[in-house]
Structure 1
Amino acid sequence: MNELIKTIVTSLVDHPEDISIREQEDEASVTYTLSVHKDDMGKVIGKQGRVAKAIRTVIYAAGSAQQKKIYLEISE
């Protein structure tokens, strides 16, 4: 899942070397925390959060085979 997130986000940002993804897993869920360069934050979130919502939709669909809820958080 980390590679999928990184592949999607890399095509959107100007500073792909600053992408980092942390994974935190517990019994019922998996939370991925994505952080990007501060100049790329707007590109990842998009107007009114449309790009972030689209990324989350793809991640949720890809993770639907797992029996856990998947969350994607975007931080600076």
Structure 2
Amino acid sequence: MKNFVEYLLVRLIDHPDELQVTEQETAEGLLIQITVNPEDMGRVIGKGGKVIKSVRKLVQVKAARDGIRVRVEVAE
């Protein structure tokens, strides 16, 4: 799942070398945390949160196919 999120985001941001995606197992399922350069934060979140909502939806669809629960967070 980590590779999928990286694949989606690396094409959106100006500083792909500073993209960090981490996975953690939690009681609720998999937690994916995204850390980007502060200059790229607006691109990842998008106007009105549209971009991050779309990323979350794509991850949820892939997770449903894999039979797991996933939560995506953007670290500040």
Structure 2 equivalent of residue 65 of structure 1:
65
TM-score for the superposition, normalised by structure 2: 0.92
**Number of aligned positions between the proteins:** 76
Runs of 5+ unmatched residues, structure 2: none
TM-score for the superposition, normalised by structure 1: 0.92
Identity %: 29
Runs of 5+ unmatched residues, structure 1: none
Q: Cα 1:61–1:47, aligned 2, differ >3 Å: closer, same or farther?
A: same
Matched, 1:49 2:49: yes
Q: What are the equivalent positions in structure 2 for 1:1-76 lying under 5 Å apart? A: 1-76=1-76
Q: In structure 2, what is the Cα distance between the partners aligned to 1:38 and 1:24?
A: 23
The list of structure 1 runs, each at least 4 consecutive aligned residues, that deviate by more than 3 angstroms after superposition, is: none
